[in-house]
Every structure is written in C-alpha cells, then in structure tokens.
C-alpha cells in the first residue's frame, strides 16, 4: 500500500469521525428539520387560518372510515385564483405508511379555472394519514393532512 493511499485513508477516517460527531449535533439543534420544514408551508394555527393559508391550503374530502382500501375516494379543492401570473401548479397526494407512497401528481394551468381533482386511490389497511401538497407558482408548497381508518387494505 502506498504512503499516499495510507494518507488519504487516514484523512478519510478523520473526516468520518468529525462527521460522526457533527451530524448528530447539527440534527439535535433542529437545523435539519427546520431546513426541511422550510420547503413546505403548514397551517400555523388550524383553528385560526390567515387569508394566505385559506387561499393556499388544499381542502381535502376523505371519509374518516374507508371500508375498501382499494377504492378510497378523495377530492381536493382549492380557493386559489388561477390567474396567468398566480396559480396552483400542482396537487400531490401522498401516504407515507403505504408501500406505494405517492398516489399521483396532478398538474394544472390557469386554463383550468379552478384547481380541483376527484379520484379514488389505494390505501393500506389501518390508520392512515394522507398528505396533500399544493404548489403555488408564487408562494411554494402548502401541505395538509387528513386522517382516515381503512378497514380492508387495498395495496
């Protein structure tokens, strides 16, 4: 083994050790979670929504109990204008506890007049928290979740 190679290995181990300490410290300060959270906007107070939140948070209709997880009806509506320079670009439906997490991403244009989608998705059995993310072309991504209980899993 060459001296140069040995040197780079030693350097790698030193960096790995520094990284091994730095990453948990960085995470424990909440910096990673803050950075991730900044990618999405949530309702600060769900009982007292601001005008901005009312406009950007998707209104999700999902039954509290779904009998057949292979046919879970979901409807997403928005009270957002669909102007040429300010509109909802997309709506995404996700359930992180399912084997297939993303159900679909639905892209819109101002020609839609209203960002609205109704469809049926597959949900795994048990308690589910379905997330809906709406993306505004000016104000980023806005996420809400809806809980449901699935009697017979459909995945």
Partner 1 sequence: MARKVKPPRMRIGKRIKEGEVFKVKVRFEHPSFTGLGQVDTESDPMFNRAIPVSFIRNMLVYYGDELVSRFSMTSAIADNPLFTFKLKAVKEAPVKVVFIDNEGERWETTGDVKFA
Nearer to partner 1, 43 or 125 (CB): 125
Q: Of 43 and 55, which has the nearer Cβ to partner 1?
A: 55
37 vs 42: CA distance, rounded Å:
9
Query: Between the CA of residue 104 and those of 44, 65, 101, what are the distances in Å?
Result: 26, 21, 9
**Using CB under 8 A, which of 43, 86, 124, 139 touches partner 1?**
124
Per-residue mark of binding to partner 1, 93-122 (x: CB under 8 A): --x--xxxxxxxxxxxxxxxxx-xxxxxxx
Output the smallest distance, CB 139 to partner 1, in A. Answer: 21
Give 43 or 154: the residue with its C-beta nearer to partner 1. 154
């Amino acid at each position: 083994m060459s001296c140069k190679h040995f040197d780079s290995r030693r350097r790698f181990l030193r960096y790995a050790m520094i990284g091994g300490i730095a990453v948990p410290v960085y995470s424990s300060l909440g910096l990673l979670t803050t950075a991730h959270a900044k990618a999405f906007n949530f309702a600060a107070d769900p009982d007292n929504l601001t005008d901005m939140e009312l406009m950007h948070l998707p209104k999700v209709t999902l039954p509290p109990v779904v009998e057949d997880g292979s046919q879970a009806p979901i409807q997403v509506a928005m009270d957002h204008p669909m102007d040429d320079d300010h509109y909802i670009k997309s709506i995404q439906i996700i359930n992180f506890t399912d084997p297939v997490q993303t159900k679909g991403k639905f892209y819109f244009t101002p020609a839609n007049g209203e960002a609205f989608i109704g469809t049926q998705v597959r949900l795994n059995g048990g308690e589910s928290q379905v997330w809906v993310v709406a993306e505004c072309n000016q104000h980023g991504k806005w996420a809400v979740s809806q809980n449901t209980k699935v009697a017979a899993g459909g995945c």
